[in-house]
A and B are shown apart, each in its own frame.
Chain A
């Protein structure tokens, strides 16, 4: 959808952290992408490759970790991880679940060269 603008915000974090640690280069970036975030990993990779030119992350390796849907049930207190589009509690079947994972774009770890 709007991967390029999201990548721009990833680079804001990369540049901030590189500055903070006095690093010349960012060599590895691990992003966690929720399967319900609307973000397409392939497009995120392409956007990253376009954006990285001329930045401290020019030669960085990008790793994308998919995060499946996590549900919390207010009825029984159970938590459920879902790979499919079934938004019900695995323990009690309630459909009043709250989505607690699967919508994120997290800059998880970065590797810096100083």
Chain B
């Protein structure tokens, strides 16, 4: 019996990063802006996408990949807005991985401008998985509390923009949007901050315009 030590040096998380890089390259080559939405469950990702679908209708074509543990509900809501949507049910997994997005990529119609990926509702695990997106939005809704950025730093650190949602509830809650934004900015300087009420439509135009600008940069090769 002999014992030998072998060097493996294999990064198991690198597999996801490589798959993500391939997706990013393909989306850029096709002129599609990939946007990954991260947040806790119930903070308004689907409602925000519905509001964006209304803004973009007739001007930009969007598609949505929905990640959930179970049910087709979110994809059905998006399709009701006339937007193509694919549901990925993870069957228990707490986040989406790049290879799951890779499987639906071939089905994304050629004429799409923006591809949104609504991640599984979870402010922890999805932060560690690049899906090949160009922009990552982290949503924080007013009922969740303004102390969340420092409690879940990875999500905010990895994001390009913070979207404070459900601003229509602010009169009833002790949520301070400035405090939430300042805390997120201390973790990620340069983070773009938006405040929206998708229900009322407040602030959605600003976010939509920012996404369109990013699409323009991507298509002119300045991404």
* Contact count band on B: 20 to 34
Residue B107 interfacial (CB < 8 Å): no
Closest to B1 in A: A113
- Check B5 against A87 for contact (C-beta < 8 Å): no
Assuming the contacts A13-B12, A106-B11, asked whether A111 and B95 have C-beta atoms less than 8 A apart, the reply is no
- Check B13 against A2 for contact (C-beta < 8 Å): no
Residue B83 interfacial (CB < 8 Å): no
CB-based A-B contact count at 8 angstroms: 78
- Check B5 against A106 for contact (C-beta < 8 Å): no
The CB with the most chain A CB atoms within 10 A, among B1, B4, B94, B125, is that of: B4
- Check B157 against A87 for contact (C-beta < 8 Å): yes
Across the interface, which residues of A come within 8 angstroms of B95, CB to CB?
1-2
Residue B127 interfacial (CB < 8 Å): yes
- Check A113 against B8 for contact (C-beta < 8 Å): no
Query: Once bound together, how far apart are the Cα atoms of A111 and B187, in whole Å?
Result: 40
Query: Once bound together, how far apart are the Cα atoms of A91 and B7, in whole Å?
Result: 33
* Contact count band on A: 20 to 34
The A contact surface, by secondary structure, is mixed
Beyond the given A38-B125, A38-B154, A109-B5, please list 16 additional residue pairs across the A-B interface where CB-CB is below 8 A: A1-B94, A2-B95, A5-B93, A13-B8, A21-B6, A36-B154, A37-B13, A38-B124, A38-B128, A87-B157, A104-B14, A105-B12, A111-B5, A112-B3, A112-B4, A113-B2
- Chain B interfacial positions (CB closer than 8 Å to A): 1-14, 93-95, 124-125, 127-128, 153-154, 157, 187, 189-190
Q: Which are the 9 A-B pairs with shortest beta-carbon distances?
A: A38-B128, A1-B125, A107-B8, A105-B12, A104-B11, A106-B11, A111-B5, A9-B12, A105-B13
